Chain A
Amino acid sequence: MGTIKVKDRDDNVHQLTAESGSTIMEVIRDAGLDIEAACGGCCACATCHVFIGEEWLKKLNSRDDDEESMLDQAFYVKDNSRLGCQLEYTEELDGMELTLAPE
């Protein structure tokens, strides 16, 4: 168990409890924040797009082809863009900061 810090589209920061084994998308969705996650987490849409705090990027696996392809359907994609459903929370990510991408 740990926490992640999620900045919403109104710049409010939410500290969310995250459990190992959950995806970042699930943590955000289950906390009731506004993340669409239309496909439910199978990397088939791009509606769980988040920006990862720079210093946390290196702790994540890099994007695979599926995720890269789906990001083609997202807007304002940056180097720190990720799909939340493709990121599994581990203890190593305790304290991670991220921002919900604009809709």
Chain B
Amino acid sequence: MSHKTDVVVIGAGPVSLFAVFELGLLNLKCHLIDNLGKIGGQCSELYPEKPIYDIPSRARITGEELIGELMLQAKPFDPVFHLDQQADSIEKVGEKWKLTTSSNTIIQAKCIVIAAGAGSFVPRRPPLKNIELFENKSVFYSVRDKSRFKNKKILIVGGGDSALDWANDLASISDVTLMHRRKEFRASPDSVTKMLELEKNKKIKFVFGQLDSLLGNEKKLNAVKYKHGDEEFSIEVDYLLPFFGLKMELGPIANWGINLHENLIKVDTEKFETSVPGIFAIGDINTYPGKLKLILSGFHESALMAQKCFAYCYPDKKNVFRYTTSSKDLHKKLGV
């Protein structure tokens, strides 16, 4: 799919959503990309139910509520979301940037705004020797094609929803062992009940343990060594599915030729533009003297970034500074 827009925003967290609003007030349309399958970034993924106390004018608001409010605020500007995909590469084509995602979505835009927080959420890999040799062959961090696991010996590791849901699901077609360091699970109570029932009926084996090492050859995993306390065990497996949640990493952005400082993107504090003209960075991912990693800093950065994006998108137009309280033009854009 190919799209054209004014600004492509990388990330769909709180700062990205407010950027949609600020850019929208200046008549600039946005497409947003996020590696997660949902909107809201860390607010939705890490702490949806945790209250935040330092959002101006909100004495207390949860991560989920904040994202809901920001979506409402962005709604008049019809942002287009491309979820479950990562911004892979960029290329300058004439006056525009051409951005390609991991799902081959192509977006052409005048400006790129990187609001990627601490980076993309990617599966947390167990720190096991040679695990990379087995990845996508015998070791999988997500399940795309269930049929591959049919009648095979599967070791699922973890105690969260992904681990239990897949253990329960694959139990009907595979020989499933679930491994966890304790017999308490943070997965939803329904999934836990179902798993315990399947275990009782001998459809799932449960073992206490933590991963220790992988045994196999270049083509295939044969067995997994694990420990529980000081005891060592080994289990024969065809496939290993470790589910240890997500971590954040900068990813492909690091290779775009933008000046970085310790995995953060250097920007100026007038326009929050990077070392590459037309590419901006706002929120937790940027750095400048005095930077504080607060959502409110990202909001401020959005407003200033939008001014410069306007200049890039409408080089011949004058940008008249207006307030949302009084401007008829802004009221029209906001639909009020």
What chain B residues lie within 8 Å of A69 (beta carbons)?
159, 186
Count A-B contacts at CB 8 Å: 50
In this assembly, does B247 line the interface, its C-beta being within 8 Å of a C-beta of chain A?
yes
User: Which of A36, A38, A46, A103 has the most chain B CB within a 10 Å cutoff?
Assistant: A38
User: In the assembly, what is the distance between CA of A69 and CA of B293, in Å?
Assistant: 26
Q: Is A77 engaged at the interface, CB distance under 8 Å to the other chain?
A: yes
> Within 8 Å of chain B (Cβ to Cβ): is A60?
no
* Contacts A72-B181, A75-B244 given; does A42 touch B118 at CB 8 Å: no
B158 lies within 8 A of chain A by Cβ: yes
Q: B248 interface residue, CB < 8 Å from A?
A: yes
Contact B247 A38 (CB under 8 A): yes
Contact of B127 among A46, A68, A77, A102 (CB under 8 A): A102
A75 CA / B124 CA spacing, docked (Å): 10
Contact B184 A39 (CB under 8 A): no
Contact A72 B50 (CB under 8 A): no
CB distance from B336 to the nearest CB of A (A): 35
| Residues of chain A contacted by B160 (CB below 8 angstroms) | 72-73
Q: Which of B166-199 contact A (CB under 8 A)?
A: 180-182, 184-186
Q: Are A45 and B244 in contact (CB under 8 A)?
A: no
Partner of A72, one of B118, B127, B186, B248: B186
CA distance A69 to B186 in the complex (A): 6
CA distance A86 to B159 in the complex (A): 21
CB of B50 within 8 A of CB of A76, answer: no
What residues of chain B lie closer than 8 Å to A77, measured between beta carbons? 181, 210
Q: How many residues of B contact A (CB 8 A)?
A: 24
Q: Is B158 within 8 A of A72, CB to CB?
A: yes
The answer to whether B216 has its CB under 8 Å from any CB of chain A is no
> Is A47 in contact with chain B by the CB < 8 A criterion?
yes
Output the least CB separation between A68 and chain B (Å).
7
Is A31 at the interface (CB under 8 A from chain B)? no
B contact set with A: CB distance below 8 Å: 42, 46-47, 50, 118, 124, 126-127, 158-160, 180-182, 184-186, 210-211, 244-245, 247-248, 293
Known: A46-B245, A75-B210, A75-B244. 17 other contacts (CB 8 A): A36-B247, A38-B248, A39-B42, A39-B46, A39-B47, A42-B46, A42-B50, A45-B247, A68-B184, A69-B159, A71-B181, A72-B180, A72-B182, A72-B185, A72-B186, A77-B181, A77-B210
User: Can you sample 8 A-B contacts with CB below 8 Å?
Assistant: A36-B247, A39-B46, A42-B46, A42-B50, A45-B245, A68-B182, A75-B210, A75-B244
